[in-house]
Amino acid sequence: MSESERYLARVLEGLHKRIEEIEEAIAEGQKEIESMHEYYWENYTEMDQYGYENFDNQQALLHQVNANQEEMQLRHRFRKMLDSPFFGRVDFCFEGEAEPESFYIGIGNFAQRTGGIPLVYDWRAPISGLFYDYDKGSAAYTAPAGEISGEITSKWQYKIRGGRMLYEFESDIKIDDEILKAELGSNGEVQLKNIIRTIQKEQNAIIRNTRDRILVIQGAAGSGKTSIALHRIAYLLYHDRQNLKSSNILVLSPNSVFADYISHILPELGEENIREMSFDLFAYRELQDTVSDCEDRYDQIERMLAHPKQQSLYEEKQSEAFLNRMERFFLEMEDELMRFRDVEYKGFVKTEKEIIQLFYFKFMDIPLLSRMEAVAEYFIDEVETLRGSDLPEEERDAVMEKFMRMYETRDLYVLYSHFLKREGYQGLKRVAFEKRRLRYEDVYPVLYMKYSLFLQKADRTIKHLVVDEMQDYSRLQYLILKKIFPCRMTILGDKAQTMDEKMQDVMAFLPGVFGKDIRRIVMNKSYRNTVEIAEYANKLAGITDMELFERHGAAVREQEFSTLEEAAKEALSHLEIGDEGFETAAVLLRTESEASAAYHMLDKQMERKGYDTKKQLSYLDRNSSSFRKGLTVTTFYLAKGLEFDQVFSVFPKKDKTKLAAQARYITATRALHELHMYEYQK
């Protein structure tokens, strides 16, 4: 038995013992909670009249409940560690010492008793940075007490599964390429993998970055952007426990399926899950008092594919020039929208001249459509002071209504339509509220109008915002994000995967939005695809500067068919899922209607071939919320961010638009091991 195997046995023994102790503590804690409940119900009628005893009892109960929850979280982490307690070791000789010390690194800290010296160090601990950042030789890490220097005398890597040592070896380099190849070469799972065993030096620098307020990660397809961003969040939570909790973090992700795909990462890394939503859903919720419905980005993509010339209208309405014209409109409305007049209430009068003075001078910093409310409150306060009593609620509302009627309208739908007509665009349809629906190109201009004209409170509960697929956000959307979330941000994406006709480099305008607080890091090395797939995809997009990780596989297959059905049959003939094949595969198409048609074709064909389609086939649309093993049929835009072992790209040959070219590139980059590029005539 090797030294590390003996150490593994010691750690496992310690874990089992700690888990037993924790379970005893949880059981005792539960008894204490039940005892407190019994005492309360037996004695609450006799507790002192001021409630001090009741308060003390409630506080003690809350303390015990919290203690039990902490113990249960610890038990959960230690149970997970039983499978693989550690994956690395670094032997470090501190400066001035004669002998090195060994530090084993795993998914979390483990000591035989609380406060004891860890047998295993959390991958986020300061000393663990040595494992990721240095080879043998001189090294240093930053601890709370300052920089600690010394020498790495050896580094080891391990693969442990089910508490058994599968292999171990001493490594001279950061993370051995063979380990990385083994991890990347394994079949894709239905969820994104955590990468703590294979974090590279440049990735580690991003993960442990606590300085930069706005960190932009511009990464090539397959460079690990999303994984790194989530590992960075796990590190920040570990690093700043007092000020940052999981509930303080929000991820803006493309859709619910992607959210499910990444949902396990933080729990695996020992943290609670974080909130997630799409920006389109956020916008819809914010505009529910203005319109009945809003298009989302996927509606817009479908329209662009059907009517490519409409793309220019979308770009125009997101542009800086359009926004400047809207700002000018806001200034013009200051006069045009108002109908000032005297207000009288039970002998108290506020003259038109006084109202104008308050509106344009005293409350000029309040947004236009909330400003008269401030004027009304000022008048009501005056009346209440002179009367020596508060106004009844119904009278207060009546006075407020008199002031608010001085606006010609406060309806954003009407105001935005008026703006469009003034600028030479087609106005919005004049329909009843329940029939109001905004096209996607109008959603964010209307939301910007709301935030500009109404008083808004920034969301201070969110202390860190993660924006994924940054290339799909317009400058206008970033301006809105800055208004809502004045917090730290991790912004990530790939300019080559823009879902528009041309690549969008958001770094052209982000510094103008966020100022000097922004820092960009470029990741040009791709790890996801084989060299053959990556080179093929890069040729589609005209990319020449990407560095590829040397992992080879089958050549990309290109074929042409007469019909979509023929292409679907061919895909099925090459499909390799099941016990002997891949975990995941995908047929990726251009539009929702094409994806639906292909799904129904494959459903029939797979049933005839004996597949269990309920388990091995799934259709993924914008309402889907989970990602499954087997064959997935979906559109290119819903597959963004996901990866599959085997991909079949099926597109109509006639569509040679720039957007379709972008779509082909996106589908190609989804493939881990095998890629088939099909086209059909009709």
Mean of pLDDT over the chain: 89
Say which DSSP state 338 is in.
B
Q: Are 352 and 341 in contact (CB under 8 A)?
A: yes
More confident: 498 or 182 = 498
Given pLDDT bands bounded at 50, 70 and 90, which one contains residue 564?
Answer: very high
Model pLDDT for residues 52-98, shown as the tens digit of each residue = 566 667 777 777 778 888 888 888 889 989 999 999 999 999 999 99
Q: Which residue has the higher pLDDT, 252 or 270?
A: 252
Q: What is the pLDDT of residue 189?
A: 53
Q: H-type helices in 105-196, by residue range?
A: 129-133, 177-185
The DSSP result for 66-111, as a single string, is HHHHHHHHHHHHHHHHHH-S-SEEEEEEETT-SS-EEEEEESS-B-
pLDDT tens digits, one per residue of 430-453:
999 999 999 999 999 999 999 999
Q: pLDDT at residue 346 above 50?
A: yes
Residue 335 pLDDT grade (very low, low, confident, very high; cuts 50, 70, 90): confident
- At residue 597, does pLDDT exceed 90? yes
Q: Which helix (H) or strand (E) holds 228?
A: helix 225-239
370-400 pLDDT, tens digit each = 999 999 999 999 999 998 899 999 999 999 9
Radius of gyration (C-alpha) of the chain in whole angstroms: 30
> How many CB atoms are closer than 10 A to CB 476?
21
How many percent of the chain have pLDDT more than 70?
94
- Across 464-552, the runs of DSSP E, i.e. the strands, are 464-467, 488-493, 518-523, 525-526, 547-548
Paired residues of 491 in beta bridges: 216, 467
**Structure-token pair, residue 275:** 């909130």
For the stretch 541-549, contacts whose Cβ atoms lie closer than 8 Å and that sit 24 or more positions apart, written own/partner, are 541/496, 541/503, 541/661, 541/662, 541/665, 543/220, 543/496, 546/220, 549/180, 549/184, 549/525
Alpha carbons 391 and 380: distance in angstroms, whole number: 8
- At residue 114 the predicted structure's pLDDT band, cuts being 50, 70 and 90, is confident
pLDDT tops 70 at residue 185: no
Dihedral of CA 234/236/238/240: which sign?
negative
- Nearest-angstrom CA–CA distance, 227 and 523: 13
525: left (phi over 0), alpha (psi -120 to 50) or beta: beta
**Residue corresponding to tokens 């954003």:** 412
**Gap between the Cα atoms of 343 and 349, Å rounded:** 6
pLDDT at residue number 67: 80
* Calpha distance 26→20 (Å, rounded): 10
Contact indicator for 628, 618 with CB cutoff of 8 Å: yes
pLDDT over 90 at 183, yes or no? no
Provide the b/e sequence for 652-668 (b: ≥16 CB within 10 Å): beebeeebbbbbbbbbb
DSSP annotation of 494 reads: -
Which of 37-46, 95-104, 513-522, 559-568 shows the lowest mean pLDDT across its residues?
Answer: 37-46
Q: Which residues contact 582 (CB under 8 A, 6 or more apart)?
A: 187, 188, 576, 644, 645, 646, 673, 674
* Max avg pLDDT among 108-117, 223-232, 351-360, 575-584: 351-360
Please state the pTM of the whole predicted model.
0.85
353-362: long-range pairs with CB below 8 Å, 24+: 355/403, 355/406, 360/334
Query: What pLDDT, on a 0 to 100 scale, did the predictor assign at position 174?
Result: 46
